[in-house]
Structure 1
Amino acid sequence: MAPTDPVHVLVVDDDRNVQRMLADALTRAGFRVTVERDGEAALAAFERQPFDVVLLDVLLPALNGYEVARRIKSTPRGEGTPVLMLSGIYKTKMHQAQAVERHGAAGFVEKPFKLNQLFGKLEGVLGERFPKPPPPPPSNGSPEPASEPLADPRARAEASLVEFTAAESTAAEPAADEAGIRAAPASAPAVDRGSFAARAFPELLADLHRRRSTGGLLLRRDKVKKIVFFRAGAPESVKSNRLSECLGRVMVRERMISEADCEESLKRMKTSGRQQGTVLIEMGCISPHNLRYALELQLRLKLLEVFGWTRGEFQFNPRAQPPSETVRLQMSTAGIVHEGIKRSYDTTRIKKALGEIAGKYVHPAEDPLFAAQDMSLGEEEAGLLALMDGSRTVRELRRRGPLSPLDTDRFLYALLCSQMVELRTERRTGPPPPRLQATVARAPGDRPWDEDEEVLELEDEVPGDDEGHLRERLLGALAAMRRMDYFELLGLRHDAPPDAVRSAAVELLREYRVDGPASSAEVETVVHQIAELVGKAHDTLVDPASRDRYRAELRVGGVKHEVGEAVGRMLEAESAFRRGEQLLAAGNVPGAHAAFSEAVRLQPDEGEFLALLGWTTHARAPSDAVAGREALTFLAEAVERSPTLDRAHLYKGHVHKALGQTGEAQGEYEKAVECNPGCTEALRELSILTWAARLAQPRPS
């Protein structure tokens, strides 16, 4: 490593929250970061390029961290590379000793950990190579550069789209279709307008979330323009006219690739027609998982930059529907608000935002839907939230809480924007409410392993099921809930106090992540119905008079809930879809096609059902061009409904390839990899197309 090169750290963890937290913190500290989610990808990355230090989680899918460490340390390059092991499960002295003695680890860090503890370990193994604090970033008011040499064609097209949409927004009837944005029904509510001088961005975001708004939020500050697209109150994607926010520049700035790598990838893009991320994968600069992480990071940074704006205008248009994107923001609205305030609010701004509140008491929100929002808090923030029970003033929390006064105010402002707490002049009376457990980004709890059990023989935990199984579980849960009375639903006795009702409702809403981004239209519908049912149960039981009326109705047997026609139809469609998958796996394509047709008839808006119907339409007659075009119609609708479903793009690519449309096939395979870095079939097809293109080139004489 040259003296001026940043320290390159490989982070290996399958938890996206941990990935994001570590990558953001390490990058801000001056490290260059590469992120991988499993052991095999980590070994491939280590073989591809050198790293100065490895942060390695023990519990990984397929190949556990101990084996990854052993293989790294057995190579000439890895022999001198320090490996720090991370774990929230294997943290006994025996496990730590094994990590060092058997597998060559330089140290062991227990989850959950504080960043200063991790940095202390890193400084210990890196010594003088530990990065010095980087210079402060340029202010948000800095002018946009006149040109951006690292901008790819997709970034330039995005900038043009934003400019066009901004110009059209001033017209009486915006030509949304020409801008590539689908129009909503004419009955949609009126457009909201305002300025950031009068309304702060975090408050605006939280308000759109509470209203469950769908549409496009146009933001302007001088020559900078952005559009944030919302679906049911959750920010989903961001478009920007700032070429400095293009993917290549973000990856260079975050030290994921060098500027030379970026320039070379742009040259290859022009000759191959590939997306920049795919080219960088082929060059060996990044892995598919790195690409996915970079695309998600790019979205977050585009949005978080706006929190620094103190002037400018906004305009919300409910007629601008979110476009189909392969990558969406994966943070809850409350989490984005919290992160943005932490990054951009200094003492002056936070004091102006909060005003004089030192003597007011901080009470938890009454509404369980607000209290259940996920902020993915650190341990200290979760501890501070637990102290906000109505018995302490803001002044006391600043003095005695686990955070500094500035960080306490930032956290409090984020909670107030999201309406997770409220300020009152009076102190809480009566017994304290049950402590609400905040969602904390941490590893699973300890398990009762035998002390003499061989670590490498322990079964790894594998991440959650796929989209279909998630949908099936949610539908089953909703059907079961509808058969319960409200006391059964919340798991309460008939004489449970109101605070217990609230606590049970919040816990149930958190379990089903009702404020998080939904992966498909049907999942969003089911989760929304669960939230409505839990909210109705809470409102009925928390009020004594309503509860008495409800108990009287229960005694005469009049309030049990049926599953309902809509839920019954969803369950029937899911059953037909599962039957189709089994038939397809058995090679019965006509039978599978019939089953998928039935699933689509019952639930025509579910993207995965449409994708499999399209694929079997083609598979029944793979050489029939008419069937191929019909299949593409179903697959295009599947992509429209579920743009993050890798199978829809993969099948669409296969059909385009069968029809001889290699350019379109290549684009769909690239989108499949963006959706799912583990889609090996799409990666294989891209490699085949690359070799075919090279063989087709004329050889020099």
Structure 2
Amino acid sequence: MPPTLLCVDADRSYCEILARAFEAEGYRVHTAHDGEAALAAARALRPDLVTLDVMLPKRDGFAVLEAMRTAEAGGPRTPVLFLAGGAATPAYRARAEALGASGIVTKPVPLDRLLSLVAGELESRSRATARRAAQQAPAPAARSVSGPLLEGSLAEVGFPALLHHLHGLRATGVLHLQCGKKKKKIQLAEGRPVAVKSNLVQETLGQLLAASGKISLDVMHESLLRVQRGEGLHGQILVAMHMLDEEDLAHALRHQAEEKLLEVFEWADGRFRFDRGARLSGGNVLSLKESPANLVLRGVMTRVTPDAIDAFFAAHAEEYVAPSEAPFYRFQDVDLDAAAEALLARVDGTRTLDDLLPLDERSRRLLYALHAVARIECRPAPAPAPTVRQPAPPDEASAAPGAQAPRAPRHEPASMHAPRAPQRADVPPAAPRRAEAAHAPASPRSAAAAAPPPAARPPAPGAAPRVAPPPRPARSDAGRLRPDPLVETPAHRAAAAAYVAPAAPRAPAPDEDALRAELSGMSERLRGRDYFAVLGVTRTATDEQIRDAYFALAKRTHPDRFSGASEALRRAAEDLFSLVSRAYETLGHRDRRNEYLRAEMTRERDRAEVEEGERALRAELCFQKGVGALKRKAYGEAREQFEQAVKHYPQEGEYHAYLGYALWLADPGAIGSVHEARQHLLRGRKLAPSSDKPYLFLGRLYKAEGKDAQAEKMFQRAVELDPDCVDAIRELRLIDMRRQRSKSLVQRILRR
């Protein structure tokens, strides 16, 4: 009999995704979404392991575990793994250890790590408990990386929430999507979309170009006939017909890929399946420069249907909206204009969604998007009037074991992502998830309509007086907000798109070289320093000064800023963000700060970071020096630096590509050097298939060897991956000029 897991989380979308992931590993999974339901399920099911959200409504996670331990007195203890949405403070860790928890991890936790923790804990339990070992098989081994990991309905987990959660889980694989006859596949790399494939005829290159007026229907049909005759790819044929140049083609392919992805935001239902570790063959490369959160924001603002927005407001109308507690979500890269920032300033935990009404269509979409990416949360109880917009992390006073009294609002649970309906009271909480209609309603709107109206709540102690809100939009008999005229017209997309563009022009995003230099400078300054130096504050700084310093530094080091960079750079950013977060967890509260100061003189500091992160940083430093030497044409020095970068971090494809290029430039006439250079370039192309540099350098090598056809293909691929690759565009234009001169010469000879 497979092990039984109880998955408890206030966020139904997140809970659903985790449950399906655990089921794919062979476990029997049940779910619950509040403390009372979790405790009832634990008593009825006697699960082999519980994943338990710390911040739950009705009873927090620590109170649930305390009650479980009381009931288990004298018997075997159920392993419990805490998932903390905010900072896993020392007080949290101390409480978890005192209650015998298996551990506490901060969300978002990579899926591979979570599955490994669960499997390891179940394996230890199976060895330690003879009775369990006799009745149950050991925890199942990891599935093949190409096997289906999780699947479900887009009506239960909306596409914005699904994309957001897969990014938080750092999922790598292929996401299969189907809605009726529509089928799409999205390749994810650590949660970032990098390629997409579609079966829609209207999303083919010719159809998109014809619809935009770039080519005529006659040209489209003629070029398609040439494709059928095997003369080449559609884009290349259009270039040969002089309908497009290489730069136009690159931009058209990028637009095609983005259209295939953004169209999914319009789906109201459908099915999804995620194949962990799988690779997508073919498809369009997504050269997205924006963070995953900004991608979700753009999709919601321009594509999500008005019905989905209405369903969100109906499901959460009486809940209080507040900024997210989790540092990872709070500081993710989300571009907001002045109007959006002004609206976000009103989200302080003291107002419900209804209190914020009336809102125009753009503001409604913005709130939905910010909720989808967990920038804001919906809570059942109000917060006290805040002194600053962002809430401080929990303190020890509110963390007394077993406390069940109403907590400070920053401890209240968050419905962080997709709209969800209230849980029905007539379904037993311990029932299996598949039969638990209340845990996965088929329609958020229908569930919201069936839910009884909530009772009036008295203001929380210390809360600001409730002011009567302005007139709200009327509700229909179904309980859904009636859309304003803008929603009902086809112009809602244009209005939403106009909102996405900031009112003031944004500064151009820094290129990767600038990000490398910035991150390396911060790493050299912060690593090995005490936590006060990490945050850049004095030992006499106040809580507010420390919080302000942390907010500023967390935004600069957030991994989303480096989402389009190399793997080594992303890993170094994640390590640095983790260091900054640990510093704030320790210094952000006066009692913890004093404890740190008292222990500072007696403890031996652990200055070593994760080995892989250290190697990544050393590799980055060598790589930067190599790039500088390459610009100075000091090819021998560049080769030595790139060799060191490859030695420190051999799995980074760009390091191999630059090393191969430097080897060739240092000694272009030596057969051995050329062969070694080609091997490194091919290795770089394999390790970094979405980077333009291996293709650009291979193209130059083939060009020098007189292999013009192969060189042209490499340059074309480089432009496809990065339409702004000026060097590859220049090389293609030179090739085209030589081809035209050659044709002219042949024509002159034939005339004679």
Name the TM-score, length of structure 2 as normaliser: 0.58
Alignment of 1:195-274 (within 5 A): 195-260=153-218, 262=220
Task: Specify the code of the residue in structure 2 equivalent to 1:678.
Answer: V
Are residue 418 (structure 1) and residue 373 (structure 2) matched? yes
The equivalent of 2:681 in structure 1 is 635
- Quick one: distance in 2 between partners of 1:272 and 1:320? 30
Q: Quick check: which has more Rg, 1 or 2?
A: 2
* Alignment counterpart, residue 291 of structure 2, candidates 317, 327, 332: 332
SS at match of 2:318: coil
- Closer, same or farther in 2 for the Cα pair 1:538/1:571, shift >3 Å? closer
Conserved 8 A contact 2:235-2:249: yes
Over residues 302-337 of structure 1, what are the superposed CA-to-partner deviations in whole Å (9 max), with x where a residue is unaligned?
Answer: 112112222321111112147798652233222222
Instruction: Rate the CA distance shift 1:306–1:528 in 2: closer, same or farther, 3 A.
Output: same
The answer (yes or no) to whether the contact 2:194–2:285 under 8 Å persists in 1 is no
Rate the CA distance shift 1:589–1:420 in 2: closer, same or farther, 3 A. closer
Aligned 1:83-232 pairs, distance under 5 A: 186=144, 191-232=149-190
SS at match of 2:335: coil
How does 1:481-492 map onto structure 2 within 5 Å? 481-492=526-537
Q: Which deviates more from structure 2 when the two are superposed, residues 574-583 or residues 533-542?
A: 574-583
Aligned match of 2:658: 612
Q: Find out whether 1:479 has 2:437 as its counterpart.
A: no
1:22-101 to 2 correspondences below 5 Å: none
1:374 match: secondary structure: coil
Q: Structure 2 matches for 1:390-405, cutoff 5 A?
A: 390-399=349-358, 403-404=359-360
CA distance in 1, matches of 2:324, 2:658: 44
Task: Pick the aligned partner of 1:386 from 337, 345, 353.
Answer: 345
1:282-293 aligned within 5 A = 290-293=248-251
Deviation at 1:697, TM superposition (A): 7.2
Change (3 A) 1:351 1:587: closer
Structure 1's 541 and 586: CA in aligned 2 closer, same or farther, altered over 3 A?
Answer: closer
Q: Aligned partners of 1:644, 1:538: CA distance in 2, in Å?
A: 35
The aligned amino acid for 2:700 is: H
Distance 1:423 1:653, change over 3 A: same
Q: Secondary structure at the match of 1:355?
A: helix
Q: In structure 1, what residue type is equivalent to 2:298?
A: E
Matches of 1:630 and 1:697, distance apart in 2: 38
Q: Which residue of 1 aligns with 2:726?
A: 678
Match of 1:296 in 2: 254
User: Residues 257 and 344 (structure 1 numbering): CA distance in 2 closer, same or farther, change over 3 Å?
Assistant: same
Q: 736, 739, 749: which one pairs with 1:687?
A: 736
Partners of 1:326 and 1:643 within 8 A in 2 = no
* Identity rate, percent: 30
Letter in 2 for 1:515: D
Give me the whole-angstrom Cα distance separating, in 2, the residues matched to 1:276 and 1:532.
46
Q: CA deviation at 1:487?
A: 3.1
Q: Is contact 1:382–1:440 with CA below 8 Å preserved after alignment?
A: no
Deviations 1:230-259 (A, max 9, x none): 222222221222232123322333344544
Q: 2:336 aligns with which of 373, 377, 384?
A: 377
Cα distance in 1 for partners of 2:279, 2:544 equals 40
Work out whether residues 334 and 418 of structure 1, in 8 Å CA contact, stay in contact via their aligned partners in 2: yes
**1:380 aligned partner, one-letter code:** A
Q: CA deviation at 1:364?
A: 0.6
Residue of 258, 263, 267 corresponding to 1:309: 267
Number of the residue aligned with 2:712 = 666
Whether the 8 Å CA contact 1:295–1:327 is kept in 2: the answer is no
Over 3 Å counting, the alpha-carbon distance change for 1:484 and 1:672 in structure 2 is same
Specify the code of the residue in structure 1 equivalent to 2:726: G
Q: Distance in 2 between matches of 1:299 and 1:223?
A: 19
| Matched residue SS, 1:194 | strand
- CA shift in 2, pair 1:470/1:349, >3 Å: closer
The AA in structure 1 aligned to 2:735 is: L
Structure-1 residue corresponding to 2:307:
348
Given the superposition, is the C-alpha separation of residues 199 and 521 from structure 1 closer, same or farther in structure 2, using an over 3 Å criterion? same
Could you tell me how far apart the structure 2 residues matched to 1:202 and 1:333 are? 10
Contact 1:672 1:682 (8 Å CA) reproduced: no
Preserved CA contact (<8 Å) 1:673 1:682: no
Matching residue's letter, 2:151: R
Q: Residue 289 of structure 2 contacts residue 564 of structure 2 at CA under 8 Å; is this kept in 1?
A: no
Find the aligned partners of 1:662 and 1:277 in 2 and give their Cα distance: 19
Match of 2:559 among 514, 518, 521: 514
Instruction: Sort the Cα spacing of 1:562 and 1:480 in 2 relative to 1 into closer, same or farther, 3 A.
Output: farther
Which 5+ residue runs of structure 2 have no aligned equivalent? 1-141, 392-498
5+ residue gaps, structure 1, are 1-183, 446-460
The one of 366, 372, 387 equivalent to 1:432 is 387
Q: Distance in 2 between matches of 1:187 and 1:672?
A: 29
| Distance in 2 between residues matched to 1:281 and 1:187, nearest whole Å | 39
Counterpart contact for 1:606–1:642, Cα < 8 Å = yes
For 1:272 and 1:677, how far apart are their aligned partners in 2? 28
Assess, with a 3 A threshold, how the Cα gap between structure 1 residues 470 and 218 changes in structure 2: closer, same or farther. Answer: same
**CA distance in 1 between partners of 2:718 and 2:669 (Å):** 23
SS class of match (2:187): strand
Q: Retained in 2: the 8 A contact 1:628–1:659? A: no
Question: What residue is the counterpart of 1:458 in the other structure?
Answer: none
Deviation at 1:520, TM superposition (A): 0.9
CA distance in 2, matches of 1:350, 1:466: 35
* 1:369-425 deviation per Cα after TM superposition (whole angstroms, max 9, x unaligned): 1111233223322221111112222122123xxx41x44433222222211111223
- 2:586 & 2:389 partners in 1: Cα distance? 19
Query: 1:630-674 CA distances to partner (integer Å, 9 max, x unpaired)?
Result: 333211222233345433212201223344543322110112233
Contact kept, 8 Å, 1:213 with 1:318, in 2: the verdict is: yes
Alignment of 1:567-582 (within 5 A): 569-570=615-616, 572-581=618-627
| SS across alignment from 2:274 | strand
Report the CA distance shift for 1:421/1:581 in structure 2 as closer, same or farther (over 3 A).
closer
Q: Distance in 2 between matches of 1:191 and 1:489?
A: 39
Conserved 8 A contact 1:196-1:313: yes
Per-residue deviation at 1:365? 0.7
Contact preservation (8 Å) 1:471, 1:522: no
Mapped contact 2:193–2:286 kept (Cα < 8 A): no
- Give the Å deviation of 1:495: 6.6
- Aligned-partner Cα distance in 2 for 1:628–1:273: 32
Which residue is equivalent to 2:440?
none
Q: Residues 463-491 of structure 1: CA distance to partner in whole angstroms, max 9, x if unpaired?
A: 67653453233122123222333333334
TM-score, normalized by length of structure 1?
0.62
Change (3 A) 1:558 1:352: same
Letter in 2 for 1:348: D
For the Cα contact (< 8 Å) 2:629–2:637, is it kept in 1? yes
Asked if the contact 1:374/1:513 (under 8 Å) is kept, the reply is yes
- What is the deviation of 1:340? 2.3
SS, match of residue 533 in structure 1? helix
Q: 1:377 and 1:290 mapped to 2: Cα distance?
A: 30
Relative to structure 1, the CA distance from residue 543 to residue 363 in structure 2 (aligned partners, 3 Å threshold; closer, same or farther) is: same
1:187-221 per-position Cα deviation (integer Å, ceiling 9, x unaligned) = 79970111223222122112112212122111122
Native 8 Å contact 1:371 1:506 kept in 2: no
- Looking at structure 2, the residues matched to 671 and 648 of structure 1 have their Cα atoms a distance apart, in angstroms, of 10
SS across alignment from 1:650:
helix
